[in-house]
Structure 1
Amino acid sequence: MSHDTLPRPAKATGPAPPPPHGPRRGRRHWTRRANPVAGAGALIWLVIVLIPVYAMLSASLTGPEQALTGNPLTPPTEPTLDNYNTVLNNGFGHLLANTAIVAVSVDGIVLGLCVPLAYTAVRTRTRWSGAAFRLFLMGVAIPAQAVVVPLYLLIAELGLYDSLLAVILPTAAFAMPVSVLVLVGTLRDISEELYEAMALDGASPLRMLFRLTIPLARGGIGTVVIYSALQAWNGFLFPLIFTQSDGPRVLTLGLFTYVSQFGVDVPALLASVVLSGIPVFAVYLVARRALVSGLMGVGGK
């Protein structure tokens, strides 16, 4: 058979196929629109927040004369770290250790009590559990200043006055109502089908708590940890009323070291504030996502 008699392939009559790497039809291209109003508002808010921080850092690096007579927004002409050396050599480590003990203890008490309480309030849907939950949330409306005198008498009767326990227990008690509210909102986001699946497998309520609820509620738990730690770290009323000696003194009371009847050592005071805020800022950088997700109520999703 000659080459002239071989069948030739038929020519394609339809439209040519699109190139393999060409654009696909029907795809929507979403573009972000600029929002100058929101951007300007965010910039103004950033400036408002950063100006006091800059003034504090600048004053902590100056001498007493420039801090009292100069412009607080003027950069220090001769920066010095003498104020930080003064703070570190004036018992700052002891104050930091006491404050850390209070914060960790408050977190342990709040988590140990609030997580099972929130789990019971969500899973036990009875009239009594709902009433107990609403009664417990009444603590949000009770200010600490209104009950400080009965608390003082109670702590004195228990023999806890002038100790770290006198600060830890009231701080944990006043942090619990908000913590329970956050955890209940988080646990309600967990699907009911997951509980039913574990119940069909024969899981007990305690196993559901540790194997299902706690892992899915990490956002809310992280929010509670940060909130309780901040309440303990920045607490001033309870350490002031329930402690007296230098042994259980915390950072907020340590600031009084630089305040006397003859004046205030402003640079050293601000240097102490800067050093006190570094641990809190570091914790926020690590757990900011858990904090935001927990406050938005999507920690269980």
Structure 2
Amino acid sequence: MKPRRNVWAGFGSTAWLIVVALPLYVMISATIQTQQGYSSHGPLSFPTTFTLDNYVGAFTSGFGLYFINTLIVTLSVVAIVVVLVPPLCYSIVRSRSRFATGVFRLFLLGLAVPSTAVIVPIFYLISVAGLYDNLLGVILPTAAFALPVCTLIMSGTMRDITPELYEAMAVDGATPVRTFFQLVMPLSKGGLSTIIVFSALQAWNGFLFPLILTQSESTRVITLGLFNFQTQYGVNVPGLLAAVVLSMLPVLLVYLFARRALVQGLMGMGGK
């Protein structure tokens, strides 16, 4: 049969492509213009001059230090999540005790608590612990608020593993530790990739905890470093957007390489 053309679907797809591509064009074109040229011609104009001074200015204004601090926070949060979540989910899925069920419900309760609602107690605890204006004071609460969602995703992935496989490992005389490393973890790669990407995005894009729990220039992260392009005379839009583009590149690379595992893990298909 000859396929029928769906004109309205093509029109809608084209309109949606324009909606998505227009902000990207405005952002990229602004980063290669001077501030004077951008102000005189407007955001939608085609750039008449080409310059990379905005990207150079982003690094000279301290972007390199902000990038390193953000990378330290992100890698630390991911490491905490990867070390704690898989064993926790394994015990929740395999144990039938009320204690394990209560722990899982406690983590689910964490999904209903926004960070803005408890920022004052967190600030007090971090200050008493002597971690104020320290990257560790940002890492710990960021990882704590990533744990509930990661636990929910990883436990759903592990529940997809059939009981027959556990029984086969038990017949072979495998201990719970051996079963975890040789059976559960290899079959939970999708969920593991999902929680890594999710926790990395949470840490990389975090704004509230760095804003409240840090103060000095040496502990500033990228999301706070963008304020450097705002002065008392206005906002350096090309320089600001250049810093935004540089901060987006690591996130885009992570998503490009892990998008399939991320989608499968969020759909509960990571263990299949």
TM class, shorter-chain normalised? over 0.9
The residue aligned with 1:168 is: 139
User: Based on CA coordinates, which of the two structures has the bigger radius of gyration?
Assistant: 1
Match of 1:213 in 2: 184
Q: Which residue of 1 aligns with 2:91?
A: 120
Q: Does residue 194 in structure 1 map to residue 169 in structure 2? A: no
The whole-number CA distance in structure 2 between the counterparts of 1:136 and 1:142 is: 10
- C-alpha spacing 1:256/1:36, structure 2 compared with 1 (3 Å): same
CA distance in structure 1 between the partners assigned to 2:230 and 2:145 by the alignment: 29
Tell me which residue corresponds to 2:109: 138
| Aligned partner of residue 217 in structure 2, secondary structure | coil
For the residues of structure 1 that align with 2:65 and 2:16, how far apart are their CA atoms? Answer: 36
Counterpart secondary structure, 1:230: helix
1:1-301 counterparts in 2 under 5 A? Answer: 39-301=10-272
Q: Deviations over 1:233-267 (max 9, x none)?
A: 00000001000001111101110111122211111
In 2, Cα distance between equivalents of 1:230 and 1:86: 25
Choose 182-191 or 39-48, whichever is displaced more. 39-48
Provide TM-score, normalisation by structure 1: 0.86
In the aligned structure 2, how far is the partner of 1:277 from the partner of 1:53?
12
Q: Name the amino acid aligned to 2:239.
A: A
Of all paired residues, the percent bearing the same amino acid is: 56
**Cα distance in 2, alignment partners of residues 34 and 297 from structure 1:** 35
Question: 130-139 or 104-113: which moved more?
Answer: 130-139
Q: In 2, Cα distance between the equivalents of 1:185 and 1:34?
A: 41
Using the alignment, how far apart are the partners of 1:232 and 1:134 within structure 2?
Answer: 24
In structure 2, stretches of 5+ residues that fail to align are none
Q: Deviations over 1:106-137 (max 9, x none)?
A: 00111111111111111112333222211211
CA distance in 1, matches of 2:2, 2:160: 32
Give the whole-Å Cα distance in 1 for the aligned partners of 2:200 and 2:211.
18
Superimposed CA distance per residue, residues 19-38 of structure 1 (whole angstroms, 9 cap, x where no aligned partner): xxxxxxxxxxx998866655
Q: Distance in 2 between matches of 1:167 and 1:242?
A: 7
Question: Structure 1 residues 38, 254: closer, same or farther in 2, change over 3 A?
Answer: same
The CA distance in 1 between the partners of 2:4 and 2:101, in whole Å, is 46
Amino acid at match of 1:275: L
1:160 Cα offset (Å): 0.3
The structure richer in helix per residue is: 2
- Mark the CA change 1:281 to 1:203 in structure 2 (over 3 Å): closer, same or farther: same
User: Which amino acid in structure 2 is aligned with residue 171 of structure 1?
Assistant: T
Moved beyond 6 Å, runs of 4+: 30-34
Equivalent residue pairs, number:
272
Cα drift, residue 206 of structure 1: 1.1
TM-aligned CA distance change 1:215 to 1:38, over 3 Å: farther
| AA of the residue aligned to 2:45 | T
- The one-letter amino acid of 1:287's match is A
Q: 1:295 to 1:37 in 2, by over 3 A?
A: farther
Distance 2:106 2:267 in 1: 24
